[in-house]
Amino acid sequence: MKVLRSVADARAFRAASANATIGLVPTMGALHAGHASLIERAVGENDLAVVSIFVNPTQFGPTEDFAAYPRDESADLAMCERLGATMVFAPSVGELYPAGDATRVQPGPVAARLEGAARPGHFAGVATVVTKLFAIVRPDVAYFGQKDFQQFKIISRLVEELKFGVQLRCIPTLREPDGLAMSSRNLRLNGSERKKAIILVQSLTYAKEAIEKLNWYAMRWKIETFHKILKSGCKAESAKLRTADRLTNLIAVFCIISWRIFWMTMMNRCCRQLSENYALTKIEMELLDNLINIKKSKLQDTLSNYLIKIAKLGGYLARASDPPPGNMVMWRGLSRLNDIQIGFNMAMKIVGN
């Protein structure tokens, strides 16, 4: 594994590898398992894997921890060699930012929010050093951690707008056993600070679990409601069918009717202003309009209005004091509407239009 420290040597390395694909993993050192996952991907997906180790001063604010940022180059180089990296580019600050260097890459509005708002100038420093690395190493693919997702989106915009022609990979975040995202700065946390650091991920985990449980309960409620509708209208025993196949076919038809009633009532719950065209055919609406008259209301031309008509066809009285239509009247009403439609279609064939 080569360790190069000058821009000239890094460019010479790239020139000598003109026909090879290069995967670049930009880092600030103090490598951990998260970095290792990026390096492994770069090694596995490219002819050559390059790791840059450079603590970039332009992305640190005046009161931030540039001087105290963890550094352990010997351990970093050992990890890179063990994982199969071909070259490590580890320049000095003076090599990338010689005296008088004043050019900075401004990443635009995407960098003004979230971390960018809390750390003015941070993402300009990130964009600048990444631009320098891309220009020096000229990688085919570059690998970044999902942990710094805003940074990844900024670099994606950078690559697109400056036409670098570099493919980007966003690799999932690896976490410590307590759930804290792996980061070089974790080394600087004491016991009390570490406990505070995991509060956010614990809260997100609890929220995710709560939402998952709510979704499961909602699905269970829907399943139970569907079977309640099926039980309300399915009188398979009264059909007196003599074979299992006929009974199976009948229950299949009943399941379709049950699902339709369930689906229409659910849509009505979610959106009271939903158009009737969403759930009913033109013939069904015309038949209901001719069969059932109800007082005009704000819901006149909505699915809700037509569900009341179906329920009234099934015996629902629709008095002001009555609760919403139950499963039985909806089942009876839809069954009667279906029978009427069959009779209507037969009559039309006999007498014509």
Instruction: Give the residue numbers marked as catalytic.
Output: 35
Q: What are phi and psi of 157, to 5 degrees?
A: -65, -40
Q: How many whole angstroms separate alpha carbon 168 and alpha carbon 46?
A: 13
Q: How many whole angstroms separate alpha carbon 13 and alpha carbon 10?
A: 5
How many of the other CB atoms lie within 10 Å of CB of 79? Answer: 18
Burial environment of residue 25 by CB neighbours within 10 A (0 to 12, 13 to 18, 19 or more): buried
Which residues partner with 167 through β-bridges?
Answer: 141
| 80, amino acid identity | C
Give per-residue burial for 166-188: e unless 16+ CB within 10 Å, then b: bebbbbebbebeeebbbbbebee
Contact 293, 285 (CB under 8 A): no
Distances (CA, A) of 313 to 237, 289, 309: 24, 11, 6
